[in-house]
Amino acid sequence: MMTKFFLYDWGGLNGVLFEVIHHNTPSILMPLAWIFSNLLGNYWGAPLVILGLWISSRQVQDNSHVLTIRHQISQFALAFGLSLAIATTLKLLCDFPRPAAVFGNLLQGDSTDWHYSLPSGHSTYAALVAGVLWPLVGIRCRFALGLYVILVGWSRIALAMHFPADVLAGWVIGFSGVAMTKRLLAAFPAISNIIKAMPGHVWYVLASVVLLVDQSTKSAVAYTFTFGEQIRVTSFFNLVHITNDGAAFSLLANAGGWQRYVFILLALGASIWMVQKLRQRLPPLEAAGFSLILGGALGNVVDRIVRGAVVDFLDFYWQAAHWPSFNLADVAIFLGVICLFASTTNRSGNNELGQKIQHGSSYRD
């Protein structure tokens, strides 16, 4: 308790700063706080950031700048996953009360969240966006990015969603995630060389690990939770136990049962094709993509064969809008698609750069 008193409560200053910021925010600014909290600072906007960076990479003519933007896309995706995983873990481990649990009806707004205050996920996301965009913009835009980070943090306090210590912790996690992934990507050539030296069966091992972890988690959920049970973990994440008879987003879920066998045959056919692809000499990133997709596809097809339907247990939502529930096999497939996309993008960028260099050499000759 003394550690929390000094490191989180700051000897009482954390609560005092919250009251000063929250109660001195005029009601006329509350719509602005809502915009920065729920729109501009919401981590559901991550796909739009990636799409915007990709579109900008298609608009510039300088190939070196194209490669820089695409590098930042990879860094943002990695930093987003790493930082949000750290933030979620801290929320679960600490379970610090939100301002509504401490001050009750004395607050502005209509906050109904009482748990998992540390850290602020929105502040983490804002720091991620600013950290990734920082190398791509000039001094004026950097000032705007700094202001954006501050306003997102302010909005969370103004809306009584977090304490200042939660916002500060979110900033630290977000900027640290950017710094860590920058080092990881800088080391990627060395990692790539190590992977190239590995025997080809390493990709089958990776697919097997994905299959094993996926089936272990599904079995744990099926054993621990009753069917249909839902446990609220954070203000944006539930653990559930449901099944899906259809494909992604419950496509053909009510088709009458025949779809089970069609999906099994399609998944097995795709798995055989991916096994054949992995027997070739592929670039490491492309091989990793196929192995992740293979493991995820086999994980879901085992469910269809053994359980009759796929077990889903990860439920992310925002207010009343729920993303379709999914499982770790789906996560592996998604990551595999990202790897294939990144591999294709890097190869395309290298080809464009090589053609430009060759064209320049021909011109000089």
Which amino acid does the sequence have at 178? V
Round to whole Å and give the CA distance between 218 and 242.
Answer: 10
Its sign, for the CA torsion 314, 316, 322, 326, is negative
Sign of the dihedral defined by the CA atoms of residues 186, 191, 193, 196, in that order: negative
- CA 308 to CA 222: how far, in whole Å? 13
DSSP string, 5-20: HHHTSGGGHHHHHHHH
Tokens, residue 340: 């294939």
Amino acid at 46: A
d(CA 65, CA 341): 19
> Which residues, in sequence order, are CB contacts of 192 under 8 Å at separation 6+?
284, 285
Residues whose CB is less than 8 angstroms from the CB of residue 114 and which lie 6 or more positions away in sequence, other chains included = 97, 98, 100, 101
Q: Can you give the pLDDT at residue 16? A: 92
The rounded distance, in Å, linking the Cα atoms of 20 and 13 is 10
User: Beta-carbon neighbour count of residue 50 at 10 Å?
Assistant: 18
Average pLDDT, 10 consecutive residues per value, the chain (365 residues): 78 92 91 91 83 83 80 84 82 83 70 79 94 93 96 94 95 95 76 56 83 87 84 82 68 56 87 88 85 92 86 85 86 88 67 51 47
Q: What angle do CA 283, 286, 287 make, to 5 degrees?
A: 80
Give residue 357's pLDDT.
Answer: 47
Q: What is the DSSP string of 60-97?
A: ---HHHHHHHHHHHHHHHHHHHHHHHHHHHHHHHH-PP
67 token code pair:
């490669």
Q: Minimal CA–CA distance to 207: which of 12, 19, 339?
A: 339
pLDDT digits (tens, 9 = 90+) for 81-127: 788 878 877 887 788 888 888 887 666 655 667 777 889 989 999 99
* pLDDT of amino acid 1: 62
pLDDT at 249: 46
> Domain extents for the chain?
2-185, 191-364
2-185 maps to which CATH number? 1.20.144.10
d(CA 148, CA 155): 10
The answer to whether 188 and 288 are in contact (CB under 8 A) is no
pTM over 0.85: no
Burial class (CB in 10 A: 0-12, 13-18, 19+), 351: exposed
Write down the pLDDT at residue 61. Answer: 78
Taking alpha carbons only, the member of 202, 217, 207 closest to residue 296 is 207
Rg (CA), the chain: 23
Angle, vertex CA 317, rays to CA 214 and CA 133, nearest 5: 90
Please confirm whether the linkage preceding 119 is cis (ω < 30° from 0): yes
Residues in CB range of 349: below 8 A, 6 or more apart: 63, 66, 67, 70
Give the residue numbers annotated as catalytic, written as ranges. 312, 330
